[in-house]
Amino acid sequence: QTVQAKGVAPTVRTYHTSSACVRDRLYVFSGGDAGASPVTDPQIHVFDTVSVTWLQPESKGTPPAPRHGHVITAVGSNIYIHGGMAGEKIHSDMFLLNTETMKWEKVRAKGDVPPGVAAHSSVTFGKNIFIFGGMTCKNDCKKTRWTRLRFDGDPPPSRLDHSMCLVPWRVKTPEEHAAQSCDADVVHLCFIFGGMDTQGVIFNDCLVTVLT
């Protein structure tokens, strides 16, 4: 179904990746124009799902440079933007937008800060942002510290332009199944699907890891 939205919609763009939601509002920033160039639009665009209206609120501070292939993720009322590219430049920076004050802030992170990356993916779990795409990192938003995670077994092949999501999964013990109990522990599964490598090989595999 095509949504008949009111207001001024963002211009045509690609690779603005998964946009972030805070309550009933969807946030979109930057994206690709032609070739490897990003759009020149520095505006944050907000789609109000209740009124079905596009908004362009004024913001304070210095926004990120235009880019595409970045990730934009919500943690509470804050929006985080990481990485992306513009032409041959690959960004490694991270910006925070407080949606209550509409103020931009560049995050001064510590820890194992990943190199510049684009066309990666992210999910939020608690106060952490998990990023995957050639490397797997966890950023603690409360401490603004990066931690590179290491898993048992062989890591999946590096990839870009894949999808990533977090799914809560109810787990019952055999005793709970026998008793037909509704009680169950909940673990959170991180799913990664598809994507491609830099040689053009397209993946159709589905990778799963347990975050809790």
Compute CA distances 208 → 80, 132, 155, 177, whole Å: 24, 12, 11, 24
Alpha-carbon gap, residue 159 to 207, rounded angstroms = 12
5-9, 78-82, 113-117: lowest mean pLDDT where? Answer: 113-117
Alpha-carbon gap, residue 123 to 164, rounded angstroms = 7
36-45, 47-56, 85-94, 144-153: lowest mean pLDDT where? Answer: 144-153
Q: State the greatest distance between any 2 C-alpha atoms of the chain, in Å, as a whole number.
A: 60
Q: What is the pLDDT of residues 117-159, one digit of tens each?
A: 888 888 888 889 988 874 444 556 667 677 777 777 777 788 8
Global pTM reads 0.73
All domains in the chain, ordered by first residue? 6-148 (2.120.10.80)
Residue 179 scores a pLDDT above 60: no
Closest of 97, 98, 107, 124 to residue 30, by C-alpha: 97
Query: Is the C-alpha dihedral spanning 149, 202, 122, 114 positive or negative?
Result: positive
Alpha-carbon gap, residue 169 to 158, rounded angstroms = 26
| The one-letter amino acid at 189 | L
Compute CA distances 146 → 129, 131, 197, whole Å: 9, 10, 25
More confident residue, 186 or 155: 186
Residue 212 scores a pLDDT above 90: no
Average of per-residue pLDDT values in the chain: 85
Do the beta carbons of residue 83 and residue 69 sit within 8 Å? yes
- pLDDT value of residue 180: 56
